[in-house]
Structure 1
Amino acid sequence: MRDYRMYILVNEDIKISKGKLAGQVGHAVMSYVYHKVVKPLSEGREIKSLDEYMKEQKKIILKCPQYKLEELEHAGGYTVIRDKGYTQLEPNTLTCINYGIKTPEQLPEWVSNLKLCN
């Protein structure tokens, strides 16, 4: 069994309450599942890593500088969460990116070096 984990990178450069952050991480998880799992499965594609991931469902939440999140957003292929601005944040604030389901060995060094969100 491979050690799959879902990695979510949160913007360390904004002030956000723990509750709001939890909501943003929830958006990142649900958006990832919908766009990367539900839609592909409905098109007949198999997602092997999801079966392995679901056995443990580990989620790693890491603090990341905004400029790195913007680079990932620009590169494409990641689940990007921007706030609607209804409560604490300005509209379109980049809050987090779901980096995906990966094993620790699949991570680039810069992601491995990010600090856990506490």
Structure 2
Amino acid sequence: MNDYRMYILVNENIKIGKGKLAGQVGHAVMSHLYYNAIKPLQEGKKIEPLEDYMIAQKKIILKCPQWRLEELEQTGNYCVIRDNGLTQLKPDTLTCVNYGIMTSNMLPDWIKELKLYN
């Protein structure tokens, strides 16, 4: 069995409260599961290694510069979360990107160099 983890990259260039951040990470988790598991299953497609991930459900939350998150957004391959701007942030603020579920050896080197969000 592989050690799958979900990697969520948080915009280090914004000031955000812990509760707000928890909500944004929650959006990233749910969006990823919907677009990469629920929707494909409904369409009869094979999904990512969700069974192995669900055993421990590890989530790695990393600080990432906004410019890098914007690069990921441009590819269209990731779940990107932008805030509606109803409380702490301006509308359309890029808060985080769910990079996906994978093992650490599948990550590019630049992600391995990011610091944990604490």
TM-score, normalized by length of structure 2?
A: 0.98
Q: Which residue of 2 aligns with 1:10?
A: 10
**SS of equivalent residue, structure 2 residue 32:** helix
More deviation, 39-48/27-36: 39-48
State whether residues 37 and 48 of structure 2, in contact with CA within 8 Å, keep that contact through their aligned partners in structure 1.
no
Which consecutive segments of 4 or more residues in structure 1 shift more than 6 A?
Answer: none
- For 1:58, the aligned partner's letter is K
Q: Which residue of 1 aligns with 2:62?
A: 62
**SS of equivalent residue, structure 1 residue 38:** helix
**SS of equivalent residue, structure 1 residue 55:** helix
- For 1:59, the aligned partner's letter is K
**SS of equivalent residue, structure 1 residue 84:** coil
- For 1:14, the aligned partner's letter is I
**SS of equivalent residue, structure 1 residue 46:** coil
Please give the residue correspondences for 1:95-106 in structure 2 after superposition, counting only pairs within 5 Å: 95-106=95-106
Per-residue deviation, 1:48:
4.7
Q: Distance in 1 between matches of 2:48 and 2:13?
A: 35
More deviation, 61-70/37-46: 37-46
CA-based RMSD of the aligned residues comes to 0.7
**SS of equivalent residue, structure 1 residue 31:** helix
- For 1:115, the aligned partner's letter is K
For structure 2, the 5+ residue unaligned runs are none
TM-score, normalized by length of structure 1?
A: 0.98
Provide the identity percentage: 68
Per-residue deviation, 1:47:
2.0
